[in-house]
Amino acid sequence: MSTPKIAVFAAGEKGRAFLAAILREVTAEVLEVRTYKQPRTLDDADSAIAELCNSRNIPVFIGARNPTEIGVNIDIVFIVGWQYLLPRDPRLVVFHDGLLPRFRGFAPTVSALIAGEAEIGVTALQPIDEPDAGPILTTHAQQVTYPIKIRDALERLTESYIICANDVIRNFSDGSFSGTPQDHSAATYSVWRDDEDFRINWSDDALRICRTVDALGWPYQGARTQVGSTPLTILDAIPGPDLRFELNQPGKLWSISEGIGTVICGRGTVVLRDVRDADGNPYRFERLRVRLN
């Protein structure tokens, strides 16, 4: 069979990385690309995707979130990082950065890292009306150890995306473009996230808070807290001493060393190694009697 002709609907940093890897490592002809700017991210992935397409003379459509039709000359449509409904079409292949049927829904990698899962990965599936519930075409998992930053996790997942893409193309070329139904009884869900979900819950245990900080870093906006009315972004944190407080009061500063604060958590303490103010400047703690909230 001739080389498959594909379209790529890609958004965000994982969409950019996926497209770059597809053009570099996958035997397929990319006929068009669609993208848009994802909210609550710091990257310029949409611009990078457009630049990549322009350098290869590939038509790119920016801001086209809900295309009403797909060209008849396209064999497969790869969808990565897309957060909007698309028309039903048997050529659609969704790449979900979670190991289905677990972590259906939104931001599955962020949720998996905060939860401390031992594996992350990618599932390629055929979409149906219920999100992330369609037949599975292929999947690829990777073991993770902590601590791990979200940026590093996304880089590792690029390998999983490409392994899955090659599997899909190989199966399509062999005439076996069909998936395996999911075990719906094993499904779990990852809820949508908004600005409130960037705020640290100091009642969590120290390890979960550190995983949260790592999972919300670039390309996302970073974990948030504040001292009084001063907003702060936490870019790096590690577990501190596991002290036993007679009256545990999460969010209170316990100690300061050269401007670096150690905060009481629901269980244990956290050392805030990289804190930034609203302008992105390093923030140094100067007073001990403060509460983060």
> From CA 80, how far away is CA 211, in angstroms rounded?
24
pLDDT, position 39: 80
* Beta pairing class for 269-276 and 230-239: antiparallel
Domains with residue ranges and CATH for the chain: 5-190 (3.40.50.170), 198-276 (3.10.25.10)
pLDDT single digits (tens) 129-168: 999 999 999 999 999 999 999 999 999 999 999 999 999 9
pLDDT single digits (tens) 30-47: 999 999 988 878 889 999
pLDDT, position 84: 83
> From CA 24, how far away is CA 2, in angstroms rounded?
19
pTM: 0.92
Contact criterion met (CB below 8 Å) for 100 and 136? yes
> From CA 100, how far away is CA 244, in angstroms rounded?
39
Which of helix, strand or coil describes residue 73? coil
Contact criterion met (CB below 8 Å) for 17 and 158? yes
pLDDT, position 40: 79
pLDDT, position 223: 98
Mean pLDDT across the chain: 94
pLDDT, position 174: 86
Contact criterion met (CB below 8 Å) for 245 and 286? no
Run of H or E residues at 171: helix 150-173
pLDDT, position 258: 96
Alpha-carbon torsion angle 227, 229, 233, 238, nearest 10: 10
Write out the chain's pLDDT in tens, 293 residues: 578 999 999 999 999 999 999 999 988 899 999 999 888 788 899 999 999 999 999 999 988 666 667 888 999 999 999 988 888 899 999 999 999 999 999 999 999 999 999 999 999 999 999 999 999 999 999 999 999 999 999 999 999 999 999 999 999 988 888 899 999 999 999 999 999 999 999 999 999 999 999 999 999 999 999 999 999 999 999 999 999 999 999 999 999 999 999 999 999 999 999 999 999 999 999 999 999 99
Run of H or E residues at 30: strand 29-35
